[in-house]
Structure 1
Amino acid sequence: MMNRFRKLVKNERGSQLIEFVAVFPMVILAMMIIWQMALVAYTVVVTEAAARDGARAAAVDGDAEKVAERSAGNLVLQSVNTDKGDEDVTVTVVANVPTVSIPFIGRLEFTFDADATIPIEEGLKD
């Protein structure tokens, strides 16, 4: 009986499967976190571009909100605010960051805002 037990303990069959089952969830979690970071980076770039495009449109008396929403593509914008001064115009865009539902953490809800200031065109100043 003791000889049979020693034989089973020394047998390494199946050890690779056990290691794989132990490590695989950590690999999936790492991939989900990397994907979430990519979504945040995408949101930063697109929100800044939408703010810049909206400010450019507002500087030439265009509709900043429509231009910013069109520039944002499929990103969900919470708000587009335009602040027009005497010399320049500032557009602030607030966007929802798309999130991945991470196990044990859940879905994180947060926003990113970007603003852009552009001088008003010479012929359009009041």
Structure 2
Amino acid sequence: MALPLARTRLDDRGQTVIEFTGTLPLILVTLALLWQAALVGYTFSLAGNAADKGARAGTVGGQDACRAAAAEDMPGAWSAAYDCGEAGDTYRVEARVQVPLLFPGGFNLPITVPGEAAVPVESRW
């Protein structure tokens, strides 16, 4: 038995599922982009902290102390390089940290985040 024409036009069963299925990829892409933006921000924080700690340690202990202090709080999943050295009467450190793609420890984006710090050189007795 066929349904009357008026009832078939007003029947919306399943419409919500179809709309959600259509927007789900957009929702997932938006969440992935927000997560990636958070990772970039955290990488900036890590680079700045590593440079600060390296500069404080390097002004007293030299390059080895600088590199050890800079790498101390860097999570193992992040790739980082450090340049430590005196420049005149300041001790300068540049930390370059690569930005991971979605999950740290997997692939890295071709983006390097710099962190720089400089402190006055303390006299070594």
| Superposition TM-score tier, normalisation by shorter sequence | 0.7 to 0.9
8 Å contact kept, 2:91–2:118: yes
Which of 69, 76, 79 is equivalent to 1:67?
69
Structure 1 residue 5 displacement after superposition: 5.9
Aligned match of 1:109: 110
RMSD: 2.5
- Which has the higher mean CA deviation after the structures are superposed, 19-28 or 67-76? 67-76
How many residues are paired up?
119
TM-score, normalised with respect to structure 1: 0.81
Structure 1 gap ranges (5+): 102-106
Report 1:39-118 matches (<5 A).
39-62=39-62, 63-100=65-102, 108-118=109-119
Percent identity of equivalent pairs: 25
- Which has the higher mean CA deviation after the structures are superposed, 7-16 or 47-56? 7-16
8 Å contact kept, 1:43–1:75: no
Give secondary structure in 2 for the equivalent of 1:124. coil
TM-score, normalised with respect to structure 2: 0.81
Structure 1 runs of 4+ off > 4 angstroms?
A: 2-7
- Against the structure 1 CA distance between its residues 42 and 23, is the aligned structure 2 distance closer, same or farther, given a 3 Å change threshold? same
Q: Which of the pair is proportionally richer in strand?
A: 2
Structure 1 residue 116 displacement after superposition: 0.4
